Amino acid sequence: MHDDIEHILISEEEIQTKIKEMGKAISEEYDSRFPLVIGVLKGALPFMADIIKRVETHLEIDFMDVSSYGKGTVSSGEVKIIKDLDTTVEGRDVIILEDIIDSGITLNYLISLIKHRGAKSVKIITLLDKPDGRKVDLVPDVAGFIVPDAFVVGYGLDFAERYRNLPYIGVLKPKIYNNEAAASETL
């Protein structure tokens, strides 16, 4: 698995140090506000698991799974809900956690949905931001690291559902994504 990585972009230690800082900031800003922390499946899972442990105030967690159509090609902004929240967001201070913002289409949709449902506030916290990929105007409130327009995987980010379990963020070797057929063969 590690052999498929061209180079490590952000080490495990760098990620964890950043998450500690981010968690501290959330603790201060949301003290006594009982925020609803929403993780966007599946990519946000490792980030969410680590950051909530660094928050020192009460919080509630929930999950959403969405899939966007025409990804990478059409900027339709059309997003389908695969799994909705169990929680009512009305009147809540919502924090949306993402592993990466690329085109911005996924979050653009989620933000309007959650605002429409009457959230008191919505904050976007992403571990990675890839501003070069943007198709809609969206700036996160907090971004851990800015990444270049490369094929990054690991720490939740996948290529064909693989590599999410890497503890670091790495750039995938081009031969891996140039040969998707060969990749699925070894599944």
Q: Which residues bind Mn ion (CB under 5 A)?
A: 43
DSSP string, 133-159: G-SS----SEEEEE--SS-EEBTTB-B
Closer residue to Mg ion in complex, CB, 59/168: 168
Under rule CB under 6 A, residue 98 binds ligand PRP: yes
Helix (H) or strand (E) holding 62: strand 60-68
Under rule CB under 6 A, residue 144 binds ligand PRP: no
- Rounded CA-CA distance 97/39 in Å is 5
Closer residue to Mg ion in complex, CB, 29/158: 158
**What number of chain residues touch ligand PRP (CB under 6 A)?**
16
The binder of 154, among ligand PRP, Mn ion, Mg ion, none, by C-beta within 5 to 8 A per type, is none
The torsion angles phi and psi of 65, rounded to 5 degrees, stand at: -125, 125
Under rule CB under 6 A, residue 93 binds ligand PRP: no
Q: Quote the least distance from Cβ 135 to ligand PRP, whole Å.
A: 7
Catalytic-residue membership of 84: no
Annotated catalytic residue within 50, 93, 99, 102: 102
Closest of 64, 86, 85, 66 to residue 77, by C-alpha: 66
The binder of 129, among Mn ion, ligand PRP, Mg ion, none, by C-beta within 5 to 8 A per type, is none
Tokens of 90: 């009305």
Under rule CB under 6 A, residue 38 binds ligand PRP: no
Q: Quote the least distance from Cβ 161 to Mg ion, whole Å.
A: 8
Residue with tokens 């695969």: 82
Under rule CB under 6 A, residue 126 binds ligand PRP: no
Tokens of 50: 């680590």
* CA 181 remoteness from chain centre: 27
- Rounded CA-CA distance 167/149 in Å is 20
Binding site for Mg ion (CB under 5 A): 158
Which positions are annotated as active-site residues? 102
Binding site for ligand PRP (CB under 6 A): 40-43, 67-68, 98-106, 158
